Amino acid sequence: MKITSLLQPELIKLELTSATKQGAIDELIDVLNVNERLHDVEKFRTAILAREAICSTGIGKGIAIPHSRDESIREVSIALGRSREGIDFQALDNGNVHLILLLAAPMSAGGVYLQALARLSRVLRNPQNRQKIMEADAEQLIIDILGGAD
């Protein structure tokens, strides 16, 4: 399983318009919905927000990986959003988040879901990868960066 098999150009939002955690999550849920990755938008939104209520998925270094497995999801997918200004995501390091990777998976995709979480964390720990993604001016370039690092 490669990250690039779960992330297509149409699932990338180069500049999030929201300045809030919930707004940014909503934008990425809308990206998944418009691209027909969800059976039930509200059910998925509830699942993501319930996960965030347990503990923020802002893992530090400007990254958040909100995630959920739920029956409301058609196929394992990643929606990526970028915020140059940063969003208060209640991250573990108390810093603003600039890259949000929303991971959605059906209940039956436990193995792929866990692999995707691990790979995203590993690739995004590298400061050069984060910097390249922040500087990318096209969706396909972001996919190429993630593919090269995966």
Residue keyed to tokens 């590298």: 126
E strand or H helix at 103: strand 97-105
Integer Cα distance of 67 and 134 in angstroms: 21
The single-letter DSSP state of residue 101 is E
Integer Cα distance of 79 and 46 in angstroms: 17
Integer Cα distance of 121 and 46 in angstroms: 24
Q: What is residue 88's three-state secondary structure?
A: strand
Asked if 54 and 85 touch (Cβ cutoff 8 Å), the reply is: no
Cite the active site residues: 67
Integer Cα distance of 118 and 40 in angstroms: 26
